[in-house]
Structure 1
Amino acid sequence: MSTVESPALEIGTFDMEIPATQQQAEQDEIQLVQFAEATISQMLAFADALVADNTWQQLDKFSGLMDMHICITDVSLIHMPKVKQEVLWIADFEMQNGNNLAKKIGSVLLHTRDNLSKAIQNITNDATAVTPLLSGMGSWQSFPQSAEIHKAAQLIMAYATLFWEYHDQLLTMRSLDGAPHIIEKMVNNLTDQLEKKAESLSEPSLRYLFLLNNCYFIQEQFLAITCYNLPSRSNIRIKYCYYQNCYLNISWDTVLSCLHGKMPLCFSKPSPLARFKSESERTCKHQKLWKVPNTQLRKMLRQAIIDKVITGPTGYKIYLEAHPEHEKCGSDQEGMEDMVNELFEG
C-alpha cells in the first residue's frame, strides 16, 4: 500500500523552511561584513606598521607607502560603499550594529590614509631638501678627487624617477606639489650641494669638469624620466653653461695666452708657436685620463675645445693666417685636433 503525503504536510514543511532560509541569508550578510572588517583591519595594521618601520631603505619604503595609499584610497572610494550597502540590507535588529561597524571602518580608513600621507610627505620633503638623504652617504663625507658622476646625483635622480612613476597619485595629495615641481626643486638643491662639495677638489679645472659631468647627467636623467627638457632659463641649464665656460677658460686660456701674451725682455723668447705647442701637449697629457662618462658630452667638450683653441677667433688657425712666416714652426691643424680628440675617458 503506497503512502501519499498530505498537501497540508507539504505546505507546513515549506512554511517552516522560509524563516530558516531568511535567517541563513542574514547570517551570511553579517559574516560578509565581519569578514570585510577583519580584512580591512589587517590591511590597516600593515599600513600602520609600514609607517612606523625605520628599517626599510627610503626608496623602497616610499614605494610601499604609495602602493598602500593607493590601495586604501580604492577601498574608501570603491569597496566601502558596497560594504555600507550590504549593511543596510541586514534586518532591522542588526542595523545599529552594522551602521556602527561601517562608520568605524570608514573612520579608521581615513585616519590610516592621513598617516600614510604624512609619511609620504616626510620622505618627499627630505628628498626635496636633498641634505637629509646625503648626510648618511659615506662617499658624501669623504669626497673623492674625481670628475666622475657622484653617487649623490644617482640617488637623487632615483628618487626623481620614483616620484614621476607616482605622478598622478601625488597630484591627489593636496599637501604636496606635483612631481615636476618636486623634481625641479630637488635637482636645483642637489646642484647647490654639489657646488659646495666641489670646493674640496684642489684643481679648478677638475672642479668644473666634475660639476659639468653631474649637471649633464641630471639634465639627461630628467629628460629620460619626464620626456621633456628642463626650461632653458631653469637654474640647472644656466649653471651647465656657466660650468662649461669656466672649465674652458681655466683650462685653455693659458694655452691661448702663449700665442698672444708678451714675455718679459729679461727672458729668452721661445717662439709663440713653440710655447703654444708645449702648453697644449702638457694640458692634454694632464687631462687625458679625466673621466667624462657620457659619450655625447665627451664629443661636445672636445669640439668646444677645438672651437676655442684651434679654430676660434684667437686660436691657432687664425694666428697662423696672421703670421704665415711661423707656419713652418707649427704643428699641422689636423694633428692638434687629433690630440684634443684623445682627451677624457668614458
Structure 2
Amino acid sequence: MLDVVDVIITVLEAEKLQLVLDIFTCVSDALHVFTSLVLSPEINSIFSGIRSLLERQENRLSKNIASTMQELRTLMDEDDSWALEISRGGGEVHKNTRFIMDCIVSMMNAQTSSQNSLPSRSSENLSIEIDITTEYLKGLLFRKSESCSDQSLRYLFLLNNSYFVAHVVSESSGCFIPSEYNKYMDSYLDVSWGRVLSCIPKSRFPGPIHCWINTSSLAKFESAFHKMYQAQKLWKVPDPQLRDALRRAIIERVISGYRDYLEEHPELEKHVGRESSSPEVLQAMLRELFEG
C-alpha cells in the first residue's frame, strides 16, 4: 500500500513540475513580447509595470521549480526499492532514472524556450537546476548501487544507467557530457570476466607439473566461464550500441586471452575439441548475452 502511495505522490510531483514549467514558458514568452515592443514613451511607461510583474512572476516560478525538484530528489532518496529493482531488472535502466531524466528534459525544453525568448536570471537559474539534478542523479545511482551484493550486477547497473543519462542529455541538448560509463564498463569486466580469465595461469612450470597445471587450469576456466554465463544470461543491456560494445569488450578480453593461451599450449588441443569449450562456441555464447 505504501508503495502505491509513493507512486501517486511521485506522479503528482511530476505533474506539478510540468505545470510550473509550462507556466514559466508562457510567462517568459509574454515577457519577451512586452520587452521587444518599440513603443512611445507614454505607452512604454504603462507597459513597464506589466514587465516588472512578469519578471517577478518568472522569478517566483523559477523558485517553485527548484523547490519541486528538491521534493522529487527527497522522494528518490527515500525510495527503498532500489536493491530489489536492480536485481529484478537484471541491471537495466531503473525506472527512477528514467523519471528523473524526464524531469531534466522538461527543464531543458523550458530553458531552451526561455532563452529563445529572452535570456534572464530565471533561465540561468533553470540551467543551474538542470546541472544540480544531473549531478545529483549520478551520485544517487552510485549510492543506490551499493545496496547490490553482486558486484558484477552493480557495475552493469551503473554502466546502463550512466550511459542512458549521457545519451538522453546528448540527444536533448546536442552537447556531450562527461560520463563514467567507460569506467563502469572496465569495473564490470574486472569483477566478472576478469575473474574467469584469472583461472588461466601465467607462470610456467617444467615437465609433468606443467602439463597437469595447464589441464587443471583449463577445466577451471571452462567451469568459471559457464558459471558466469549462466548467472548473467538473463541480464539486460537495453541500448543496442552499448550492448554490442560490451559484448565485443568481453570477447576481446576473454576469448582473445583464451586463444592466446591455447596457442601457447598446443598440448591442450585435445581437451578443447568438445563442443562446449572451443573458442568459437564460447564466443557465440557471449554474443547472446544481455538480451534479458
Inter-CA distance 178–113: structure 2 relative to 1 (3 Å threshold): closer
Tell me which of the two structures has the higher relative contact order, counting C-alpha pairs closer than 8 angstroms and 6 or more residues apart: 2
Question: How many Å apart are 1:60 and its aligned residue?
Answer: 2.8
Contact 2:114 2:123 in 1 (8 A): no
Equivalent in the alignment of 2:269: 327
Equivalent in the alignment of 2:291: 345
Contact 2:62 2:122 in 1 (8 A): no
The letter of the residue matching 1:319 is Y
181-190 or 113-122: bigger deviation: 181-190
Of 270, 280, 286, 2:231 maps to 286
Equivalent in the alignment of 2:8: none
Of 109, 116, 132, 2:71 maps to 132
Equivalent in the alignment of 1:296: 241
Of 141, 152, 164, 2:80 maps to 141
What is the CA deviation profile of residues 68-92 of structure 1, one whole-angstrom value per residue up to 9, with x for unaligned ones?
232244135438x37944x9xxxxx
Larger radius of gyration: 1
Inter-CA distance 139–175: structure 2 relative to 1 (3 Å threshold): closer
Inter-CA distance 228–109: structure 2 relative to 1 (3 Å threshold): closer
Question: How many Å apart are 1:228 and its aligned residue?
Answer: 3.1
SS at match of 2:120: coil
Identity level (%): 32
Work out the CA distance in 1 between the residues paired with 2:122 and 2:54: 16
Aligned length: 260
Work out the CA distance in 1 between the residues paired with 2:225 and 2:282: 9
Gaps of 5+ in 1: 1-53, 88-98
Runs of 4+ in structure 1 off by over 6 angstroms are: 178-181
Contact 1:201 1:207 in 2 (8 A): yes
What is the CA deviation profile of residues 91-120 of structure 1, one whole-angstrom value per residue up to 9, with x for unaligned ones?
xxxxxxxx8xx3xx6425413421322322
The letter of the residue matching 1:279 is A
Structure 2 counterparts to residues 166-245 of structure 1, below 5 A: 166-167=111-112, 169-170=114-115, 172-177=119-124, 183-230=130-177, 234=178, 237=179, 239-245=180-186
Equivalent in the alignment of 2:98: 154
Structure 2 counterparts to residues 1-346 of structure 1, below 5 A: 56-78=15-37, 81=39, 84-85=42-43, 102=46, 106-124=48-66, 127=69, 132-137=71-76, 140-143=79-82, 144=85, 145=87, 146=89, 147-165=91-109, 166-167=111-112, 169-170=114-115, 172-177=119-124, 183-230=130-177, 234=178, 237=179, 239-260=180-201, 271-311=216-256, 315-330=257-272, 331-345=277-291
Contact 2:31 2:55 in 1 (8 A): yes
